[in-house]
């Protein structure tokens, strides 16, 4: 299908302005729509301009749509190697198995830093998504994954991210944004998300380091101490307990299958879902 | 429970090295000691008979050096030992490879690896190989789908069916694959890890049905989850669960199929992934001790464990391979005897299958690979392995074609039967000074790694921290750099490259769409002919056993006729989770 045909098709769809857009927008179309904001600063010149004009029109229409399915946007941040991807993958598995969620779809936007030297991004997160990329689930159409390069945009966020979230929400997806860095309030992804998770590990350091973690001070942030089996976990736990309340603190070993800490985190995140 | 650290094993080996030096020093001074050594030596020499070769000369069955002083005797015996004698530096048996009066004492070591397309095609290839070799030894390569526990009716992986190995999804496939080979004297090797319990159970069940006695069944399956974690990534369940499964089968076989080797501790893949020869030796031995510890924790006896853990190594062109296997044999023997207390000699003897290096083969001027493989075989033979696979020269570009498999198999026959040396006299090149140098370099390198691994808190922790993978990756990068810069010379690749043509006319094995389609339909038909309620019931039994931490091999054997490889995998993944690849 060429661009013009696809445009015509999407135009018709969007013109109907029907609330069932979340059903009619198939993963392939979401992919196409998501490509638009990504290509915005791409190298293809005139075509890009035309695409972004069209894309701006699409977005405007999405804004007018009443949301049929309420969706939730989750943000998950933490330093490299803290186990964000594994944790997110385990949460996704629980989502798949959760009977309350059987009519819902989930999407993952994984933001990777763009190397200032090579101009490329590793986009390696999906290697850790074992369940989220498992064909059994992919074939059900309930999972959508997209890697996003930050392209030098600060705060662990990509420029296109807000638009991408808008599109996914319109398509009826819950959204997980996985982002590198420590997720500083204001500049990071917190502005985009309904619920924020910060992942830290026992090697974070002593009391002074923990005091520097700005996210700990943000109300309602879910604090996850992952790799809870490692040495030093008890000490860090007691330091954290002095700073945040127990119902916001989760001790997990994401790498372990059926880990009870991850169970508790999942329950807490999805509380209130009928 | 009993758990030995690698530092203890390194200590024990260094103690042994010191004891060798001490015995040499003593033999220099102590008169009584000198007499005893000389007396034993003379006795040994008298016991070695000679035989006449076709050219008319008489040679002794074992090559022994001339000794001018008892201290030399002490060194020879401490460093190498006679063939078949501790520390097994020369050989674990006294007469490996010898042909005496036209007869071979041991089975021929040839074991040619094969597998492609459908079970029918591979069965045909097996019959071809068996017509060409004397020993009844088969070795099976499976396709990626099978290795990952997927069945051939899965449309998502249609194109992978039968590529690079045989596709096996059902019990019926096993009956077809090994048709004609369900006999006690046939040894079947299966290169499979993730779904190894399913595959072995299917073979056992088929053998039983064809009237074979499991007490006598021969063969081996790879089942080495540790090296998967280091190199291959083809694990289905988390590493700890995968080790548990391997141990379920290991324990079961020790009682019920005592001649079967359910685990093969494999260095080959670690080396192929980029490890140096010494890293291969060190990491593979470290993995071996993980299995010993796991088996001890189940209350098994060390003598029974030691006998049942064979190894699988590369033989490459690098000089380390002239003595690498000898070195790992000595470290293993000292560890088993002095650390674990194995007093049964059979448990101290590290048995090894060796394969020539696939990594050393190149596409350009492809027939050079025949020479490379022959020389690697020669390196391997200096170490007296128990089984051998020689690669086909066309492996860089295709699943081996028939002609190339024949040449690879013949290369072994030429070394064993045609060429004078290995068939005539044990250890005729084995105790030389070059081998002694390398022997000690490798041992030292391995013990150094043992101490490094120990600092992580043991092998499993070092793996979890990425040490093995990072070390392998570092070596792999270095290797590529060396090839690129020409520091590592590769003929027709970075030396004498001018005027070489790419090989365009090499025949390739192609698995047609029709074959894949038929495979997919065969599996669909098998599945549809079952009673779905019964199948569901059996899968539940399997999952319940897993939840109650029962023996998975035992239950797999009971359900394997009805439950396919993908159903088995999926059912256990629901309980255990999926293996997370390391990046």
Q: Please write the tens of the pLDDT for every residue from A185-232.
A: 545 666 788 999 999 999 887 777 777 777 777 778 899 999 988 888
Contacts with A134 from chain B: Cβ below 8 Å: 578
Q: A224 and A109, same structural domain?
A: yes
| Residue B120: predicted pLDDT | 96
| Residue A17: predicted pLDDT | 43
Contacts with A135 from chain B: Cβ below 8 Å: 154, 156
Tell me how long chain A is.
Answer: 274
Phi, psi of B138 (to 5 degrees): -115, 150
Segment A34-51 shows an average pLDDT of 48
* pLDDT per position as a tens digit, A88-112: 999 999 999 999 998 888 999 888 7
How many other C-beta atoms lie within 10 A of the C-beta of residue B574? 14
Whether A128 contacts chain B with CB within 8 A: yes
Residues B490, B482 contacting (CB under 8 angstroms): no
How many other C-beta atoms lie within 10 A of the C-beta of residue B76? 20
Residue A274 lies in a domain: no
Whether B550 contacts chain A with CB within 8 A: no
| Residue B104: predicted pLDDT | 81
Whether B576 contacts chain A with CB within 8 A: yes
Chain B 131-160, CB below 8 Å of chain A: which residues? 154, 156
Tokens of B330: 């000595």
Q: What percent of chain A has pLDDT over 70?
A: 62
For A259, nearest residue in chain B (alpha carbons): B577
Chain A 177-216, CB below 8 Å of chain B: which residues? none
Q: A256 and A201, same structural domain?
A: yes
Question: How far is residue B121's CA from residue B173's CA, in Å, rounded to a whole number?
Answer: 11
Domain ranges of chain B: 6-79, 103-446
Q: A77 and A126, same structural domain?
A: yes
Nearest to A147 by CA among A198, A186, A108, A92: A108
Q: Coil, strand or helix: which one is A251?
A: strand
How many other C-beta atoms lie within 10 A of the C-beta of residue B432? 13
Residue A274 has pLDDT above 90, yes or no: no
Phi, psi of B165 (to 5 degrees): 175, 175
Residue-wise DSSP of B408-447: HHHHHHIIIIISTTTTTSBTTTTT-HHHHHHHHHHHHHHH
How far is B190 from chain A, CA to nearest CA, in Å?
A: 27
Tokens 């020409």 correspond to: B486
Whether B421 contacts chain A with CB within 8 A: no
Residue A42 has pLDDT above 80, yes or no: no
Q: Which residues of B374-396 are buried (b: 16+ CB within 10 A; e: fewer)?
A: bbbbbbbbbbbbbbbbbbbbbbb
Whether A123 contacts chain B with CB within 8 A: no
Give the single-character DSSP code of A178: E
Contacts with A88 from chain B: Cβ below 8 Å: none
Q: Structure pTM? A: 0.87
How far is B576 from chain A, CA to nearest CA, in Å?
A: 7
Indicate the pLDDT class of residue A79, thresholds 50, 70 and 90: confident
Phi, psi of B139 (to 5 degrees): -135, 130
Q: A11 and A102, same structural domain?
A: no
| Residue A20: predicted pLDDT | 38
Pairing of strands A73-78, B218-221: unpaired
Q: Is the ipTM of this complex over 0.90?
A: no
Whether B583 contacts chain A with CB within 8 A: yes
Chain A 250-269, CB below 8 Å of chain B: which residues? 255-258
Question: How far is residue B457's CA from residue B557's CA, in Å, rounded to a whole number?
Answer: 37
Q: In this complex, do A257 and B576 lie within 8 Å of one another by their Cβ atoms?
A: yes
Give the single-character DSSP code of B319: G
**Could you give the count of Cα atoms lying within 13 Å of B162 in the half-sphere of its Cβ?**
22
Question: How far is residue A129's CA from residue A144's CA, in Å, rounded to a whole number?
Answer: 12
Nearest to B281 by CA among B322, B319, B327: B327
Chain B 208-267, CB below 8 Å of chain A: which residues? 238
How many other C-beta atoms lie within 10 A of the C-beta of residue A160? 24
Q: A202 and A91, same structural domain?
A: yes
Whether B18 contacts chain A with CB within 8 A: no
Tokens 């006695």 correspond to: B213
CATH number of B103-446: 3.20.20.240
Residue A171 has pLDDT above 70, yes or no: yes
Give the single-character DSSP code of B237: S
* pLDDT per position as a tens digit, B257-293: 999 999 999 999 999 999 999 999 999 999 999 999 9
Residue A247 lies in a domain: yes
How open is the CA angle A189-A190-A194, to the nearest 5 degrees?
115
Q: What percent of chain B has pLDDT over 70?
A: 99
Residue A24 has pLDDT above 60, yes or no: no
Residues of chain B with pLDDT under 50: 1
What is the number of structural domains in chain A? Answer: 2
Contacts with B570 from chain A: Cβ below 8 Å: 136
CA B426 to chain centroid: 23
Residues A160, A40 contacting (CB under 8 angstroms): yes
Residue A7 has pLDDT above 70, yes or no: no
CATH number of the structural domain spanning residue A106: 3.40.50.300
Tokens 């039968």 correspond to: B162
Q: A59 and A130, same structural domain?
A: no
Q: Testing the interface with A: which of B234, B580, B582 to mutate, by most A Cβ within 10 A?
A: B580
Chain A 139-168, CB below 8 Å of chain B: which residues? 139
Whether B289 contacts chain A with CB within 8 A: no
* pLDDT per position as a tens digit, B322-377: 999 999 999 999 999 999 999 999 999 999 999 999 999 999 999 999 999 999 99
Tokens of B319: 């000089």
Q: Coil, strand or helix: which one is B337?
A: helix
Question: How far is residue A150's CA from residue A129's CA, in Å, rounded to a whole number?
Answer: 20
Inter-CA distances, B16 with B10, B331, B346, Å: 10, 10, 19
How far is B470 from chain A, CA to nearest CA, in Å?
A: 15
Nearest to B438 by CA among B515, B500, B522, B382: B382
Tokens of B374: 């022959």
How far is B43 from chain A, CA to nearest CA, in Å?
A: 60
For B578, nearest residue in chain A (alpha carbons): A130
Q: In this complex, do A124 and B583 lie within 8 Å of one another by their Cβ atoms?
A: yes
Whether B549 contacts chain A with CB within 8 A: no
Q: Testing the interface with A: which of B577, B578, B581 to mutate, by most A Cβ within 10 A?
A: B577
Indicate the pLDDT class of residue A10, thresholds 50, 70 and 90: low
Residues B218, B186 contacting (CB under 8 angstroms): yes
Gyration radius (Cα) of chain B, Å: 24
The residue range of the domain holding A117 is 73-269
């Amino acid at each position: 299908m060429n661009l013009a045909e696809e445009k015509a098709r999407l135009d018709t769809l969007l013109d109907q302005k029907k609330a069932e857009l979340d059903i009619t927008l198939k993963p392939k179309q979401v992919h196409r729509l998501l490509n638009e904001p990504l290509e915005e600063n791409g190298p293809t010149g005139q075509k890009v301009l035309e695409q972004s004009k069209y894309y701006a029109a699409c977005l405007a229409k999405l804004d007018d749509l009443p949301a049929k399915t309420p969706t939730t946007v989750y943000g998950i941040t933490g330093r490299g190697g803290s186990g964000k991807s594994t944790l997110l993958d385990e949460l996704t598995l629980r989502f798949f198995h959760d009977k309350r969620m059987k009519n819902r779809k989930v999407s993952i936007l994984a933001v990777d830093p763009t190397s200032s030297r090579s101009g490329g991004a590793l986009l390696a997160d999906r290697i850790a998504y074992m369940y989220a990329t498992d064909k059994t689930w992919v074939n059900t159409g309930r999972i959508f994954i997209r890697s996003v390069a930050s392209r030098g945009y600060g705060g662990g966020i990509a420029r296109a991210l807000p638009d991408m979230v808008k599109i996914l929400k319109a398509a009826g997806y819950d959204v997980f944004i996985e982002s590198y860095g420590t997720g500083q309030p204001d500049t990071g992804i917190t502005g985009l998300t309904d619920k924020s998770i910060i992942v830290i590990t026992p090697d974070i350091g002593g009391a002074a380091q923990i005091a520097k973690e700005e996210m700990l001070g943000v109300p309602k942030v879910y604090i996850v101490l992952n790799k809870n089996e490692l040495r030093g976990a008890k000490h860090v736990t007691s330091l954290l307990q002095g700073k945040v309340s127990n119902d916001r603190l989760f001790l997990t070993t994401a790498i372990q299958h059926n880990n009870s800490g991850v169970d508790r985190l999942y329950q807490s995140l999805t509380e209130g879902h009928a | 429970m009993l758990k030995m650290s690698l530092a203890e094993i390194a200590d024990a080996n260094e103690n042994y090295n010191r004891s060798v030096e001490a015995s040499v020093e003593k033999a220099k001074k102590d008169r009584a000691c000198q007499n005893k050594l000389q007396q034993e030596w003379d006795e040994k020499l008298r016991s070695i008979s000679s035989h006449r070769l076709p050219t008319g000369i008489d040679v002794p069955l074992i090559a022994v050096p001339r000794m001018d002083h008892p201290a030399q005797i002490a060194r020879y015996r401490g460093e190498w030992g006679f063939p078949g004698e501790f520390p097994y530096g020369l050989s674990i048996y006294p007469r490996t490879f010898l042909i005496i009066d036209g007869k071979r004492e041991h089975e021929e070591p040839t074991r040619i690896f094969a597998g492609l397309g459908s079970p029918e095609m591979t069965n045909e290839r097996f019959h071809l190989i068996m017509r060409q070799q004397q020993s009844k030894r088969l070795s099976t390569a499976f396709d990626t789908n099978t290795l990952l526990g997927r069945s051939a009716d899965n449309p998502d992986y249609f194109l992978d069916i039968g590529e690079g190995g045989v596709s096996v999804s059902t019990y019926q496939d096993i009956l077809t694959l090994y048709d004609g080979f369900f006999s006690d004297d046939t040894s079947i090797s299966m290169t499979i890890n993730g779904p190894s319990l399913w595959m072995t159970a299917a073979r056992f069940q088929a053998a039983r049905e064809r009237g074979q006695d499991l007490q006598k069944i021969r063969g081996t399956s790879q089942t080495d989850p540790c090296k998967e974690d280091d190199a291959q990534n083809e694990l289905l369940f988390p590493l700890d669960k995968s080790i548990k499964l391997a141990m379920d089968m290991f324990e079961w076989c020790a009682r019920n199929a005592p001649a079967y080797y359910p685990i093969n501790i494999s260095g080959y893949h670690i080396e192929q992934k980029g490890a140096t020869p010494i890293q291969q030796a060190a990491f593979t031995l470290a993995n071996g001790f993980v299995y010993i510890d796991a088996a001890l924790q189940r209350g098994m006896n060390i003598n029974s464990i030691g006998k049942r853990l064979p190894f699988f190594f590369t033989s490459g062109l690098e000089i380390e391979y002239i003595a690498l296997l000898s070195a790992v044999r000595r470290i293993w023997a000292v560890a088993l005897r002095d650390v674990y207390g194995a007093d049964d000699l059979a448990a101290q003897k590290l048995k090894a299958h060796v394969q020539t290096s696939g990594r050393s083969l190149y596409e350009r001027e492809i027939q050079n690979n025949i020479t490379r493989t022959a020389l690697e075989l020669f390196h391997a033979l200096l170490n007296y392995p128990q089984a051998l696979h020689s690669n086909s020269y066309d492996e860089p570009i295709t699943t081996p074609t028939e002609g190339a498999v024949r040449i690879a198999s013949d290369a072994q026959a030429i070394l064993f039967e045609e060429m004078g040396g290995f068939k005539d006299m044990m250890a005729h090149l084995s105790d030389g000074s070059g081998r002694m140098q390398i022997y000690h370099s490798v041992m030292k390198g391995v013990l150094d790694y043992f101490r490094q691994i120990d600092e992580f808190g043991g092998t499993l922790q070092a793996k979890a921290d990425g040490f093995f993978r990072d070390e392998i990756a570092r070596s792999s990068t270095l290797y590529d750099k060396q090839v690129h810069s020409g520091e590592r010379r590769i003929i027709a690749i970075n030396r004498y490259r001018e005027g070489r043509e790419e090989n365009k006319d090499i025949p390739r094995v192609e698995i047609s769409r029709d074959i894949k389609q038929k495979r997919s339909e065969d599996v669909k038909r098998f599945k549809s002919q079952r009673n779905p309620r019964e199948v569901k019931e059996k899968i539940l039994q399997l999952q319940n056993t897993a939840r109650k931490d029962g023996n998975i091999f035992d239950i797999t054997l009971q359900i394997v006729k009805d439950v396919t490889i993908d159903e088995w995998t999926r059912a256990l993944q629901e309980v255990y989770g999926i293996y997370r690849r390391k990046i």
